[in-house]
Structure 1
Amino acid sequence: MKSESASKSRSNSDSNSKSQGTRSIVLGEVEVIRVVEWQGAFVPARGLVPDSGAELWKGNEEWLAPDHWDPDSDRAVVTLQTWVLRSGGRTVLVDTGVGNGRERPGSAQFHHWQGDFLGGLARAGVRPQDVDVVVNTHIHGDHVGWNTFGADGGWVPTFPNAQYLIPAADDFHFGPDNAYGNGLREDDRLIYEDSIAPVHRSGQAVLWDGSHRIDEHLTLESAPGHTPGSSVLRLASGGDRAVFAGDLLHSPVQILTPSCNSCFCMDAAQAAASRHRILERAADERELVIPAHFGGAGAVEVRKEGDGFSLERWAAFETP
């Protein structure tokens, strides 16, 4: 797997642009394609990762900027992206972004969002009818949005031939049985109703718990804390290993200090434990860590360092 020094990673795009395009690498017998929906300076850095000190960001500015942090505005740079895997003759999507035309009153930036996600998939050679499996690592609005699209006044599955793999614990928590996340956020009900419920009605939803094997190369595993059903997808093919870490990591500073949660983590202790466990295994087994929201090269190898971890090599994905 081609890689480059972490300290030399730089984005060649405007960090506020709605970046389009596809990038790919091959791991064993699996092709991994990156489809970016949006990238930009998102929220204040220590708003995203509340327990991270200013010195953590400033002390690593050389490589955090500009791909992961905008020092001028002190805002974290994030990317919304889907990973397309071609494995065992099938096409698998890992998370489906924000989606167009959604009611998201709690997320002003993506309320009634309109983007070119399907165009990005098309440029990657993927038509909706070609998708065999959709993985939702968890049920948050920026991971399930393109599960569906608006048609005739309602929402229908975007990928008509796909099996949608949804963590059972999240489906319970965010669904009607637990009154849409205990009714704490109106967005939770809206997300479930427009992006999850239609997949149940079509008979395409598969709920799983603990672990779920997709094929000989791909296995889902629970990694709770960010949400009750938060999960990761492990890839093992030939001599290559990777872990699609979802929202266990929002920023590379959480690799340096894995005890630091994002502001979106629901169970702080459980999320930190899951993050440390996944990073420790990645370091031991030389897994490429592929989070949902990293900008720049998007994926990185890690190594143990003291009580935490350090970044060793970025993957060979071109920067958006």
Structure 2
Amino acid sequence: MEKSMIGKYEVTSIVEQAVAYAPARAFFPSMTDDMLTTCMHDLPSGQISPDGLLHMNFQGFVLRSGRYTILIDTCCGSDKDRHPVPMFDRRKTDFLTVLAAAGVQPEEVDFVMCTHLHWDHVGWNTQLVDGTWRPTFPNARYVMSKQEYEHWDQVYRSGKIDMHTLAFADSVMPVWRAKQAMLVQHDFELEKGIWIEACPGHTPGNYVVNVSDGGSQGVVIGDVIHHQAQLRFPHLSSRADDDPDLARKTRTALIEKHADTGHILLPAHFPTPSMGSIESSPNGAFSYRPSPQL
């Protein structure tokens, strides 16, 4: 569990699981053998295993503003039908235990912010209670991009069955039915110093959450950048990106915007230590410096 301050805001990582997720060259289809070798040599230990597997966290973040307790992304969930990917099917995770260790009970969460509606970011939106999927956070409003919700609603209604439509059915629709969903445009500001910013490409309505106070700034980036390999080679888009070309442009713009500023990045999938800042290199690549912890 990592913890840092962004001005007055306290942010804590909630790691649901840490796994050797996928072969790097499969996850990044345009990655060459030479690029993989470079990443394995240049990136910090623990990023890529000797056999070329990407190490990734699945994590969300608790943001305490003093006024609100905010949870950003809820990972994979427990007991979910994810049969297209057997390693995640009906899996049980201790997300709520980790959340409790961070001092947060479900009823204390005021807002759940969903950077996008992929299966590994909305799983703990709901939990199974007496055979029914019910919102895990009973007093929270779930902040979703209106564009993102409408996109996945349309895909779901088309009859397509994949990880994302399964998640829409069990982790998003129950929130909508409970009237806890809050569909917003991309100029939404939760309070002064916390606002969302459209970063499409990975999904159509993907957003990041900006946090700023007292000259300090951070950004919860979701899946705009999946792995440090994309700092070494920013043009790499992943197989999970809905629009790889747009994702590449969005990712590159985000990297250039925050490089050499000291801004704290809060990524969904970087292995621990995951909080850090981007630094530019003379060769046009970028590196990552872990942030000091509380």
Question: TM-score range with shorter-chain normalisation?
Answer: over 0.9
Contact persistence 2:281–2:287 (CA under 8 A):
no
1:208 equivalent to 2:184? Answer yes
Contact persistence 1:57–1:64 (CA under 8 A):
no
Match for residue 64 of structure 1? 43
Query: Alignment partner for residue 102 of structure 1, among 80, 84, 95?
Result: 80
Q: What is the correspondence of 1:3-14 to structure 2 with a 5 Å cutoff?
A: none
Match for residue 147 of structure 2? 169
Contact persistence 2:237–2:244 (CA under 8 A):
yes
CA distance in 2, matches of 1:244, 1:308: 24
Match for residue 33 of structure 1? 12
Q: Tell which deviates more after alignment, 46-55 or 292-301.
A: 46-55
Q: Could you tell me which runs of 5 or more consecutive residues in structure 2 were left unpaired when the two chains were aligned.
A: none
Q: CA deviation at 1:307?
A: 8.1
Q: What is the correspondence of 1:277-288 to structure 2 with a 5 Å cutoff?
A: 277-283=253-259, 285-288=261-264
Contact persistence 2:2–2:273 (CA under 8 A):
no
CA distance in 2, matches of 1:259, 1:192: 29
RMSD across aligned positions (CA)? 1.8
Task: Please give the per-residue CA displacement for 1:210-263, whole angstroms capped at 9, x wherever unaligned.
Answer: 221111121111100001111111111112111111101111111122211011
Give aligned pairs, total.
294
CA distance in 2, matches of 1:297, 1:53: 26
Contact persistence 2:260–2:278 (CA under 8 A):
no
* Same amino acid, percent of matched pairs: 33
Match for residue 195 of structure 2? 219
Q: Which runs of 4+ in 1 moved over 6 A?
A: none
Q: TM-score, normalised by structure 1?
A: 0.87
Q: CA deviation at 1:183?
A: 4.3
Q: CA deviation at 1:155?
A: 0.7
Q: What is the correspondence of 1:30-179 to structure 2 with a 5 Å cutoff?
A: 30-62=9-41, 64=43, 66-71=45-50, 73-175=51-153, 178-179=154-155
Task: Please give the per-residue CA displacement for 1:189-222, whole angstroms capped at 9, x wherever unaligned.
Answer: 2211110011111111011122211111211111
The letter for the 1-side match of 2:127 is: F
Q: Could you tell me which runs of 5 or more consecutive residues in structure 1 were left unpaired when the two chains were aligned.
A: 1-21
CA distance in 1, matches of 2:28, 2:117: 20
Q: What secondary structure sits across from 2:254 in the alignment?
A: helix
CA distance in 2, matches of 1:23, 1:296: 8
Q: TM-score, normalised by structure 2?
A: 0.94
Contact persistence 1:241–1:287 (CA under 8 A):
yes
